[in-house]
Amino acid sequence: MTDERSQIAVLTGDLVQSTAAGASLTNKAIGRISSMAAITTGWPGNNAGHFTRFRGDGWQFVVDRPAWALRALICVHAVLRQDEDGPISRIAIGLGPLDPVTGDDLSDASGPALVASGRALDNMDKAQVFAIVGKGVTPLHHAVLALVEDRVTRWTVEQAEAAAYFLSPTAPTLKSIAETLHISTQAVHARLKGAGAQSLRRAVEAWEQAGAAP
């Protein structure tokens, strides 16, 4: 029987070396992820969220429109990289159906996307940071994600800060980013060039135009 429930994406993650970072930085990092999850609920066609913290340094949230999953993953990484002393997070995208969520979070939720995301996180190689699994995922999706991982894990704090704004679906101009960060447009350009942000934006937009995997 075909599962006709809506296809969504679940992002599941856990912080890297959170014990060494300490409770204060761990809580700060989780707060940054929660804030980004809330921001994604304002993206066109996406209004789920349901941010959930679990096992101390673990977290999950729903992306209603699966095509937004890659952009959401990169933006979560970007806000974490802005804290030089804080931990980053491994992140797994699970694609598929999700049973109706009755509460504010995912603590009692179930469904293939949720299960796939959690298992993918548990099965990641020790050196791996990002993963994607679920209905319709192809070797191309894995390849794109691996290239994204290679690029963004090299970001400096300043590059991550500029990229977080640049990769917003609102596509802000360099001038507006400069005004927000209180730096020159030339400085924004330099940070984004170092971050490979133009190539990342093209990759994300192509991923979204293709409708991602589902």
Residue ranges of domains in the chain: 7-154
**pLDDT reported for residue 88:** 94
- Please identify every stretch of the chain with a pLDDT value under 50, giving residue numbers as ranges: 1-4, 213-214
CATH of 7-154, one of 3.30.70.1230, 2.60.40.1180, 3.40.50.720, 3.40.50.620: 3.30.70.1230
**Residues present in the chain in total:** 214
Confidence (pLDDT) at 184: 97
Question: Which distant-in-sequence residues (6+ apart) come within 8 Å of 50 by Cβ?
Answer: 60, 61, 62, 101, 104, 105, 106, 109
User: Which pLDDT belongs to residue 56?
Assistant: 82
- Tell me the two tokens of residue 60: 């999950």
Q: Which residue has the tokens 């299960």?
A: 115
pLDDT of residue 103: 73
